[in-house]
Structure 1
Amino acid sequence: MSNTNRILVIVTNVNEYEKVGYRTGLWLGELTHFYDFAVENGFAVDIASPAGGFVPIDPESLAHDYLDELGTGERYRDREFMNLLDDSKKIADVDVDDYDAIYFTGGHGVMFDFRGDELGALTAKFYESGKIVSAVCHGPVGLLNVPLSTGAAMIAGKNVTGFSWPEEELAQRADAVPFNLQEEMAKIGANYSMADKPFETYVVEDGRLITGQNPGSARAVAEAVVGALQAA
């Protein structure tokens, strides 16, 4: 694998649930916690989305408790950084050769636009090119529709995690989401596991596939991705 020292971060374009009136979007900390750690360790980061352009932010991720975590509030006050979310790169314009890894952020918005064929094909190229594929929280929705050249699903037989159904119920979104992510990963044949307690930091590594369970796991996913890239 060529070393580009660049990571592609995927975010959502969706700002609302289809069935209910709640607003949603990117969970900001799942971007900032990963982004900051990657940059601090010498990696450049590009932000892309399925449609390109504006990236909505889940309003709940802007609560004071969340903004106080790992410098997220500082990023929210940073005009230059926030302007990156006004004009994200379109995934159709991404060249896999420009990156060492791909990282899927979460926020419930991804449940409506991360399962598309175009994003799945891009992810398959990353994986089959020997690059790292990573995701956190609802971000693993982007791993559900990734057929490899063999015809097999990328996560079939792989050890993974992602936002659990107990966490979905605690977040009071079980009636709003279009599907159960934990269940869908298992249906594909992935070996899903989760932390002993909801919302505990939890990361699963299976070769070049790295997944984190919930928003509080984003920094730990970044650490795992950067560690793997530095060891390569």
Structure 2
Amino acid sequence: MLKLLIVVTSVNKYESNDLETGLWLSELTHIYHSAKEKSYDITIASPNGGDIPIDPESLKPLVLDKISKDYWDDANFRNLLRHTKSLQEVEEQEFDGVYLAGGHGTMYDFPNNTLLQDIIKNHYEKHQIVAAICHGVGGLLNVKLSNGEYLIKGKTLTGFNWFEESLARRKKKVPFNLEAALKERGADYKKAFIPMTSKVVTDGNLITGQNPFSSKEMAKVVIEELKRNHK
């Protein structure tokens, strides 16, 4: 049975404190659903553990797809989200894949979290799958490998871009420009030709998705790569 760690944010507000944020629901539900179908052993963890915030924008009817709605309406799943493990509880464990879900909350508690950096580094260097979607890609920014280089230096990847931030009307709210930060670290950043459409990039055992609309494709690619990695 393959083991998958899904990491989600613990942060529920922007720094300005006037807007709610949190996990973008579909970026968890699609990978969770696909892994569950394969009977994987799934652990959901967050920096603080316990109850995790959901970005209210991700629950709006226009963006809430059927899979996400079904899970949101499921009392057992909602209970699971109230009792996530803390990163401290899972740091010594070995997984076949580590998946960083997104949502603007991750911009605050992923990039400088040394526990998360260690988990990512250790799994990446053991050639396990490391995946991140949307703002969750920010969790890769400061990960350094054993040779002292940034993990993402020279890697082809994607993540939520600055124009999409503008479309989401969050440019003045976010703590940094994710697209620019990825490029500053030496990543070969790619994006979909049309903003807010699906884009998934695979570079060895690193898989990244651009935005919430990549959730379904991302889940498919991650499951395929997990299978290939463990033939």
| TM-score between both structures, scaled by the size of structure 1 | 0.95
Mapped to 1, the partners of 2:108 and 2:93 lie a distance apart of 27
Please give the residue correspondences for 1:50-129 in structure 2 after superposition, counting only pairs within 5 Å: 50-67=47-64, 69-95=65-91, 97-115=93-111, 116-129=113-126
Structure 1 distance, partners of 2:46, 2:14, is 18
Aligned match of 2:4: 7
Distance 2:75 2:42 in 1: 17
Equivalents in 1 of 2:207, 2:187: separation in Å?
Answer: 13
Q: Mean Cα displacement is larger for which, 91-100 or 160-169?
A: 91-100
Q: Is the CA contact 1:96–1:126 (under 8 Å) kept in the aligned structure 2?
A: no
Aligned counterparts of 1:75 and 1:229: Cα–Cα separation in 2? 23
Task: Give identity over the alignment, percent.
Answer: 45
Shift of 1:96: 5.5
Contact 1:96 1:125 in 2 (8 A): no
Matching residue of 2:28? 31
Structure 2 equivalent of residue 139 of structure 1: 136
What are the within-5 Å matches in structure 2 for residues 162-173 of structure 1? 162-173=159-170
| Runs of 4+ in structure 1 over 4 Å off | none
| SS in structure 2 of the partner of residue 221 of structure 1 | helix
2: CA distance between counterparts of 1:41 and 1:96? 24
Long gaps (5+) in structure 2 = none
C-alpha separation in 2, matches of 1:30 and 1:82: 15
Q: 1:66·1:72 contact (CA, 8 Å) conserved in 2?
A: no
Task: Say which SS state the counterpart of residue 64 (structure 1) adopts.
Answer: coil
Deviations 1:140-198 (A, max 9, x none): 01101111110011110000000010000000000000000000000000000100010
SS of the aligned residue for 2:99 comes to: strand
Question: Amino acid of the residue matched to residue 119 of structure 1?
Answer: L
Q: After TM superposition, give the deviation of residue 20 of structure 1 in Å.
A: 4.7
Alpha-carbon RMSD across the aligned residues, in angstroms, is 1.1
Q: TM-score, normalised by structure 2?
A: 0.96
Q: How many residues align?
A: 228
Q: Is residue 203 of structure 2 the alignment partner of residue 213 of structure 1?
A: no
Q: Does residue 1:223 correspond to 2:217, yes or no?
A: no
